Chain A
Amino acid sequence: MSNSDTAPEILRTVDGQPLKEALTRASRSARIRAFLLVLPLLVFVLLTFVVPIGQMLSRSVVDEKFSENMLQLGAWFAENDSLIPDEAAYAALVADLKVASAQRSAGNVGTRINYELPGTRSMFTSAARRADEMAPPFKEAMLAQDPKWARPDLWAAMRSASAAATLNFYQAALDRQIGADGTFEAAPENVQIYVKLFIRTFVLSVVITGLCLLLGFPIAHLLATLPLRYASLLMILVLLPFWTSLLVRTTSWMVLLQGQGVINDLLVWAGIVGDDGRLEMMYNQTGTIIAMTHILLPFMILPLYSVMKTIPPSYARAARSLGATSWTTFRRIYLPQTVSGIGAGGILCFILAVGYYITPALVGGADGTLISNQIAFHMQKSLNWSLAAALAAMLLASVLVLYWAYDRMVGIDNMKLG
């Protein structure tokens, strides 16, 4: 270039560009090339995974079943903020119910309010059927139809449902409901399920992770210290369950654990329990814990093993030669070196356990089910999709926190399988 003699200290490439710029350009194009390789998959995962889940989660704060059908009442709520409905409010209600009756959407409207106040759906459907016959004054007409229309909590529920965006489903997922004065309060003891269910899910996951650690640690230690020939043979015993279908393993546990199953038969035959005292190990928490421990055990053993394999045995020998007992050696020398493996396996097991669905659904019975089963229930049976989405959002949030912790501790790129 022309000014090369004025600034001789700048290094240049053969074709005269400053070396720094050429290098920046080359590394930028290398970065773009690498990114372009990843791009198709990233777009694919975003489209088939991230976007669907995001859209599903948006349902947890939006429900239009009431707001899009009850326009006049919505307008009344926007103008008045009193809790006592006047004649105009009842007139708006009846007008909306007439439209809803014509469009056959009264059931949807009722369903939305029914989420907040159980038992109110039929009030909407039957009032909508009669709406055409009603004449002013509408307040008296509605109260003659059903005196429950004067309930303040019903009006509070309708007010909160008149906006499409709502946090009510999160309130419901936290066992709170609309009280008589229109504000949220804790639901009665006997209908509080979700907080208990979350606690149960976390407690069971901790128990299962703990059991996996208890059973996985000796196995991983044995595999890491045996000569590789024997270790790779025994490794098959760990990997075979890992590769076997989840449903197969769950089925096996159902066969083993049921009242007339193999374990009970064995116990009766051995005389440990009487024929009438067969243990109930299935359709309760015991079943969930046993089956899930078995299923998640390889996820604990494999990370532990890969950490333990890197621990040089000479450290333990050095400790022994310096006078430590074998217990002290284990506690002070060996155990601290396995902490990263314990963390990796523990978090992985816990993440997988928290979101488990199939095994609890099949062997869990009533008190061995987890939060996933409740989400499935609201998706398939009660059809309260927004509540399902709110529960899913809370579950997902806790899993993502754990995932972040896993990344900080182990690094996602260090994850290994088999």
Chain B
Amino acid sequence: MALPVYADPLERIWYYTYRVICALIFIFLIAPILIIMPLSFNVEPYFTFTSEMLAFDPAGYSMRWYDNLLTFGTAAPDAVRDSSWWADVWANAKWVQAAKNSIIVGFFATIVATVLGTIAAMGLSRPEMPYRKLIMAILISPMIVPIIITATGLFFFYSKIGLSGSYFGLVLAHATLGIPFVIITVTATMMGFDRSLIRAAQNLGAGPVTTFFKVQLPLITPGVVSGALFAFVTSFDEVVVVLFIGSHEQQTIPRQMWNGIREQISPSILAVATILVIFSVCLLAVVELLRRRSERMRGVTPG
């Protein structure tokens, strides 16, 4: 969108003003995420920049809040940091427990959502699929229905059938919440899929299973993986359902953060937040690479 040569002065002014406005909006988008990173190294328990921090004085910075993540909840936080201390951290530290829970629940929820979602997306992307719109609407609805309604419904349902407070119930609930993302990303990839490849494979003597694993799956893998990442992030970031159906031991990272924010917000939260931002940067990089790979495979080249 270069400035055309015939632009009059007013348009020139607007052209640069527009750029400045866009820059400001980008700052609005990104600054809140970046600002917590330096603040998480604050030596004081404040949520603002101290004068030492602004002067880049090393005394104003510390790792104490990251350290606190490891020691919070341990039996002997001040002991010598030998192997038994690390064992203590692994077994007792609240944030480590939360991370373990989050990863376990997220992992299994992702597997359930991705396997079921991919199979269903294959059916949904077939032109002969009956009641396609209605079924799609039902399958996408967990993303649309307010989370508090889902959580309330699951709370009653799980207490009736005895699943509340179980990891199994939590995995099922999180899988349900992740399914719309898998469906959306995988059907989007399927739409660009050349169906004559399937017929070619069948023509050459491949059965449906061989066709799926040798022809379809390699081509839709980017979509499946980004769908799986979406499902994992959904589970990893979910707090309301955990609050309603999780037992006291089922502390996940978001639940622990939620408690921390509600009770007494300490910069430890910022340390966790920083780690999570770095985590999402990595995820974003993976998704971006997958998208490019998928475009390359389908012959769409970015300019």
Contacts and interface: CB of A to CB of B under 8 A. Distances in A.
Contact of A412 (B18, B133, B150, B240): B133
Contacts of A379: 152, 155, 244
B103 interface: no
A358 B112 CA distance: 26
B287 A375 contact: no
Nearest to A232: B302
Nearest to B185: A417
Query: What DSSP secondary structure best describes chain A's contact surface?
Result: helix
B233 A243 contact: yes
Given A240-B281, A258-B47, A215 B237 contact: no
B26 A237 contact: yes
A284 interface: no
A229 to B, nearest CB: 7
Nearest to A228: B303
Nearest to A26: B128
- Chain A: interface size category: 35 or more
B33 A252 contact: yes
B261 interface: yes
A244 B280 contact: yes
Interface stretch (B57-65, B86-94, B137-145): B137-145
Interface of A: 27, 30-31, 33-38, 40-42, 44-46, 48-57, 59, 215, 218-219, 222, 225-229, 232, 234, 236-241, 243-256, 258, 260-262, 265, 294, 297-298, 320, 326, 351, 354-358, 362, 372, 375-376, 379, 385, 388-389, 392, 395-396, 399, 403, 407, 411-413, 415-418
7 contacts: A30-B126, A40-B120, A247-B239, A251-B273, A262-B49, A294-B32, A418-B226
Given A48-B173, A379-B152, 19 more contacts: A35-B123, A37-B119, A42-B120, A45-B141, A52-B156, A56-B153, A56-B157, A239-B287, A240-B30, A246-B239, A251-B269, A255-B48, A256-B35, A262-B49, A298-B29, A320-B6, A396-B145, A412-B133, A413-B136
Interface of B: 1, 4, 6-7, 11, 14, 18-19, 21-22, 25-26, 28-30, 32-33, 35-36, 39, 46-49, 112, 116-117, 119-120, 122-124, 126, 128-130, 132-133, 135-142, 144-150, 152-158, 160, 172-173, 175-176, 179, 181, 184-185, 187-188, 226, 230, 233, 236-237, 239-240, 244, 254, 257-258, 261-262, 265, 269-270, 273, 276-277, 280-281, 283-284, 287-288, 291, 302-303
